[in-house]
Homo-oligomer: A and B are copies of this chain.
Amino acid sequence: MPPTLEEVAKLAGVSRSTVSRVVNQHPNVRPEVRERVWEVIRQTGYQPHAAARSLATRRTQIIGLIIPQAVTTLFTDPYFSILLRGVADACNAHNYHLMLSLFSHRRIRDSYARQDLLYQQVLRSRYLDGVVVSSAPLDDPIFPRLLEDKVPFVIVGRYPHERANYVDVDNVVGARMAVEHLLRLGHERIATITGPLNMCAGQDRLEGYRQALAAWGISVDERLIVEGDFTEQGGRAAMQRLLPHQPTAVFAASDMMAVGALKTLREAGLRVPDDVALVGFDDIPLASMVDPPLTTVRQPIEQLGSMAVELLIGLLENPQTSGVHRVVLPTELVVRASCGVRVR
């Protein structure tokens, strides 16, 4: 049986309160007493009991990372590993712990029911001090609930509500840069494979595409816009549907979809970039590994994760700080071979 505060107190010849003060770095303890207590703590290997502490302080030091929806695919996308790394790192750095809430991908059918259950269990039972939400569609029920329950949360992405804090990248500008790059290379029939249009990132990247075309005075051919789902499979399927309309360039709203599109193009006997230029989004490691290497829009995924956590911890530790916290990070166009750099 591990020792309790009480026992440490007895051994050190002081009261519970004093040990508590020592453990929690309260100032008003005589140095010699403090040292004596530390000595006992060291010898006994005392460690405060998390649950007891949480019960008294009403804080758990646990942050949740919630990725709603049935997301088989989302997890084959390295985007998540990278985000997770950022999140985990920031948690470590600030002595918070990380609880991961994914949702079963096996049965999409009951996924909402499960999500509901998890929400109850995890959030209402106060396991978490706050949460980071990523990759949720805009109409996900989690947002209204979080707001109603006044759970501190930060979104990786965006949500149109005054009390929503978020960290996002400038998807519109990123997408516009990508498409403008294609335009500069002389393309006019530029197609796009969008992300899911119920997600902010999906919408924004499409918006960037539209803006770029508009800026160049090119009218949008709606047949060149096909909705994907951020997965490789989705990219393949979307590209399949685009083929009949013979685009000379394709902007895919994620690298995974670009890779899918690449395969479909190749299977159709088209060469990239010679016959069709291709640009992705994310700059995941795979982007530079495929053949040809993918021109893409880099977003600082890891940083997105760690900033979200830091914002959240700021919220948790200074609740009085009013105002909403929002950060938008820049993107960067990474030119590789897949877009076919032509002579000026």
Considering the chains assembled together, what is the distance between the CA atoms of A48 and B120 in angstroms?
A: 10
How far is A125 from B78 in the complex, measured between Cα atoms in Å?
33
Of the stretches A24-32, A52-60, A312-320, A329-337, the one at the interface is A52-60
Binds B, one of A96-104, A162-170, A213-221, A270-278: A96-104
Copies in the complex: 2
**A47 to B145 CA separation, bound complex (whole angstroms):** 15
A310 at the interface (CB under 8 A from B): no
Bound CA–CA A54/B136 (angstroms):
30
Known: A49-B125, A60-B51, A286-B286. A89 touches B104 (CB 8 A): yes
Is A246 at the interface (CB under 8 A from chain B)? Answer: no
Contact B126 A49 (CB under 8 A): yes
Q: Which A254-274 residues have a C-beta within 8 angstroms of B? A: 259, 263
Apart from A48-B125, A51-B55, A286-B289, list 7 A-B contacts with CB within 8 A: A49-B55, A51-B126, A55-B55, A75-B85, A76-B81, A81-B81, A92-B102
Using a CB–CB cutoff of 8 Å, the interface residues on chain A facing chain B are: 2, 45, 47-55, 60, 62, 75-76, 78, 80-82, 84-85, 88-89, 92-93, 95, 97-106, 114, 118, 120-122, 124-127, 259, 263, 285-286, 289-291
